[in-house]
């Protein structure tokens, strides 16, 4: 949500020492610490605050991505990598997520009933990236089989059926520790107050931790390998078969790296996702939407 007078008593942050001390029993609003990802395609519909759809309060954040939406920034071009996105990113990095430290994130997400899965394509609705590492340290992927994934590809979690996530507000609370030692628990994910996933071993790769990387939370909609959906539900154009593909190690991962150059006889479904009550903090009770609601803490509007 937008910054408001709530910030006056929430932003008591002490930087320095081995940890980030946060004295904010209402949590710290994520707003003001994120910016729209440069790779997000321009368009009035891509992101905005909307009334009447909130989990709490008056407003929620609305993200939308349509067929052909792919952007370019710096030396990265989603249009040539079989993907598209509209995301908010932590700015500056290490503002909320920090190497060798733990942090709690709390928020609510609404995936509408008419959301269409990309099947073998991926729709990512939350991730934390480490600078210099291509895979997210952790990510939430929603397709036919929703999953929590880690960069080391170990100890991921199934998140239940896609149907169990659609059509209502879901309250998510995540704990992530970006260190390599000294912790009993390194990751937890609560869905509607119930522990859904837990990891007791470090998930930050050793070589990444040694580089003391810059970290950043991202949320919104990030679709990848979208040509898999187009090929399954339409027909692969002859030109696409001759064009570039997403390949590595001699194995191609999708029918086309540039899917929006061709006509497949079908278009990607439009995706709309809503987010609300986004906070971060030092303790679960500072950010968990349900705990805050039970205490009568005002919404983040």
In a domain, 231, yes or no: no
**What was the pLDDT predicted at 2?**
36
**What was the pLDDT predicted at 102?**
97
Q: Is the pTM of this model over 0.85?
A: yes
- For residue 131, the domain's CATH number is 2.60.120.200
In a domain, 214, yes or no: yes
Q: How many CB atoms lie within 10 A of CB 170?
A: 17
In a domain, 78, yes or no: yes
pLDDT tens track for 266-286: 999 999 999 999 999 999 999
Instruction: Show the low-confidence residues of the chain (pLDDT under 70).
Output: 1-24
CA-CA distances (angstroms) from residue 69 to 42, 185, 238, 273, 294? 9, 38, 22, 15, 40
**What was the pLDDT predicted at 193?**
97
- Give the pairing of strands 13-14 and 194-199: unpaired
CA–CA separation, 35 and 48 (whole Å): 12
In a domain, 257, yes or no: no
* Total domains in the fold of the chain: 1
In a domain, 60, yes or no: yes
CA–CA separation, 265 and 5 (whole Å): 51
In a domain, 254, yes or no: no
Q: What is the domain extent for residue 37?
A: 7-226+268-294
**What was the pLDDT predicted at 3?**
30
In a domain, 258, yes or no: no
CA–CA separation, 139 and 149 (whole Å): 5
Render the burial of 33-72: b for 16+ CB within 10 Å, e for the rest. Answer: bbebbebbbeeeebbeeeeebbbbeebbbbbbbbbebbbe
Q: What is the 3-class SS of 214-283, one letter each residue? A: CEEEEEEEEEECCHHHHHHHCCCCHHHHHCCCCEECCEECCCCCCHHHCCCCCCCCCEEEEEEEEEEECC
CB 240 within 8 A of CB 259: yes
CB 272 within 8 A of CB 112: yes
**What was the pLDDT predicted at 44?**
86
In a domain, 24, yes or no: yes
**What was the pLDDT predicted at 14?**
31
């Amino acid at each position: 949500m937008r910054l408001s007078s709530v910030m006056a008593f929430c932003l008591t942050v002490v930087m320095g020492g081995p940890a980030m001390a946060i004295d904010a029993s209402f949590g710290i609003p994520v707003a003001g610490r994120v910016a729209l990802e440069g790779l997000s395609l321009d368009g009035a519909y891509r992101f905005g605050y909307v009334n009447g759809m909130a989990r709490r309060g008056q407003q929620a954040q609305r993200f939308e991505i349509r067929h052909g939406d792919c952007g370019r920034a710096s030396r990265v071009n989603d249009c040539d990598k079989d993907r598209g996105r509209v995301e908010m990113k932590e700015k500056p990095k290490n503002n909320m997520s920090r190497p060798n430290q733990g942090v709690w994130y709390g928020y609510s997400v609404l995936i509408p009933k008419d959301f269409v899965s990309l099947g073998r394509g991926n729709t990512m609705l939350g991730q934390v990236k480490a600078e210099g590492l291509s895979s997210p340290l952790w990510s939430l992927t929603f397709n036919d089989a929703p999953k929590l994934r880690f960069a080391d590809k170990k100890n991921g979690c199934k998140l239940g059926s896609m149907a169990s996530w659609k059509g209502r507000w879901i309250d998510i609370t995540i704990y992530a520790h970006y260190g390599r030692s000294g912790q009993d628990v390194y990751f937890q994910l609560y869905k509607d107050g119930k522990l859904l996933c837990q990891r007791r071993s470090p998930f930050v790769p050793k070589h990444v931790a040694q580089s003391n990387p810059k970290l950043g939370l991202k949320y919104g909609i990030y679709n990848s390998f979208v040509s898999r959906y187009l090929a399954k539900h339409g027909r692969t154009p002859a030109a696409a078969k001759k064009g570039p593909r997403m390949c590595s190690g001699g194995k191609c991962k999708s029918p086309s790296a540039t899917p929006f150059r061709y006509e497949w006889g079908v278009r990607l479904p439009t995706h709309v996702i809503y987010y609300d009550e986004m906070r971060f903090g030092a303790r679960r009770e500072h950010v968990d939407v349900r705990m805050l609601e039970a205490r009568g803490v005002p919404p983040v509007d």
